[in-house]
Amino acid sequence: MSESKAVIFGCAGPELLAEEASFFAETRPWGFILFGRNIASLAQVADLTASLRESVGRPDAPVLIDQEGGRVQRFKPPLVPQYPSGADLGALYLANRDAGLRATWIMSRLHAFDLHPLGITVDCLPVLDVPSPGGHEVIGSRAYGITPEVVCALGAAAAEGLKAGGMLPVIKHIPGHGRAGADTHHELPHVNASRADLSARDFIPFKALAGEAMAMSAHVVFTDIDPDNPATTSRRVVDEVIRGEIGFDGLLMSDDVSMNALSGDFATRTSAILAAGCDVTLHCNGDRAEMEAVASVTPELDGESLRRARDVMAAFRAPDDSDEAALREEFEGLMAAS
């Protein structure tokens, strides 16, 4: 792994092209991420994940996906069921605490039944953002609730369900996206709340799950902490808040470097992400020219980042012996009762 570069890449389509395989063999990304454009059938995805790993010569290279349920679900029917949103689980929790916790754990365990056999080993959930009035709907129903208590409880259950299924979670979007008044895919939001208010609400779920192996940053400016840079490229936010106050010492990846919340060319963006203290840059869209620019300034994993990447690999465990059919039946009953 010490020869892997500090980057996660996507590929363009449902099959790995020869030129993409050559590029990955040369640039040696630490991991890969899949999107809807990469999914045609279950067998095809299994072949693709095998090809991605073969390109870098690492049979355990992490393969990530965003499979939350609700409107962020890369695998869709008929390949897998349509799963509820985080808000749906939160509503069940408010009506029946035990049922909400159980349903959230089961849903993550079902994600693992869907994904793990295909070679997908990391699911980018739970969403630990706590929405606030005025926040953009880019989080919206993806959130488990509007209080830190609900988000903490269901975020922990979701993470545990993935780990029981042999996968690892990614807590996102650290240190909190819930107050952002814009969609970071399109523009850079500025949050003017005081650090004290952020500590009392937004940071709480991330503190509660700070022991998880991976986190994804927020492309959000917190003006009371660093008025000039979004968290992803802010050394102050990474050092003082994410590593300091929140206490997260796992692998910190950027949110997608292609998002328009970030400025500058791709080499500039990547350099800023790594200089701020993120361990790994995430580039999702499979665009070759963009990936070449990212790779041109990306070093090999070393130092604390290499240690954290090794900790991730050591955190995987074999799936438990849960009965898939029984869990699906139980989940349907829990959600129907809500």
Q: Kindly state the average pLDDT of the residues 112-134.
A: 95
Q: 2 pLDDT exceeds 70?
A: no
The C-alpha atoms of residue 111 and residue 67 are separated, in whole angstroms, by: 7
Helices (H), 29-85: 42-56
| Known catalytic residue at 98 | no
The C-alpha atoms of residue 25 and residue 29 are separated, in whole angstroms, by: 8
Average pLDDT, the chain: 95
Express each pLDDT in 4-63 by its tens digit.
999 999 999 999 999 999 999 999 999 999 999 999 999 999 999 999 999 999 999 999
**pLDDT at position 54:** 98
**pLDDT at position 180:** 85
* CA 157 to each of CA 89, 104, 142, 202, 263: distance values in angstroms, whole numbers, following the listed order: 11, 6, 15, 19, 36
The C-alpha atoms of residue 247 and residue 315 are separated, in whole angstroms, by: 18
Under the banding of pLDDT at 50, 70 and 90, the label for residue 263 is confident
For β-strands 67-69 and 72-73, DSSP reports them as antiparallel
Q: Kindly state the average pLDDT of the residues 277-295.
A: 97
Q: 196 pLDDT exceeds 80?
A: yes
Contact 219, 232 (CB under 8 A): yes
Contact 75, 126 (CB under 8 A): no
Residue whose token pair is 């008929």? 78
The C-alpha atoms of residue 284 and residue 34 are separated, in whole angstroms, by: 8
**Is CATH 3.20.20.300 correct for 79-337?**
yes
Phi, psi of 20 (to 5 degrees): -70, -45
The C-alpha atoms of residue 314 and residue 256 are separated, in whole angstroms, by: 25
Counting residues of the chain whose pLDDT is more than 90, the rounded percentage is: 91
**pLDDT at position 186:** 58
Express each pLDDT in 80-98 by its tens digit.
999 999 999 999 999 999 9
Angle at 234 between CA 229 and CA 236, to 5 degrees: 120
3-state secondary structure of 1: coil
Q: 197 pLDDT exceeds 70?
A: yes
Contact 335, 93 (CB under 8 A): no
**pLDDT at position 136:** 61
| Known catalytic residue at 177 | no
What angle, 0 to 180 degrees and rounded to 10, lies between the N-to-C axes of helices 42-56 and 18-27?
40
**pLDDT at position 139:** 83
Express each pLDDT in 66-75 by its tens digit.
999 999 999 9
3-state secondary structure of 254: strand
Options 226, 255, 256, 279, the catalytic residue:
255
Which of 85-89, 258-262, 266-270 shows the lowest per-residue confidence on average (mean pLDDT)?
Answer: 258-262
Options 185, 186, 239, 320, the catalytic residue:
185
Q: 157 pLDDT exceeds 60?
A: yes
Q: 135 pLDDT exceeds 80?
A: no
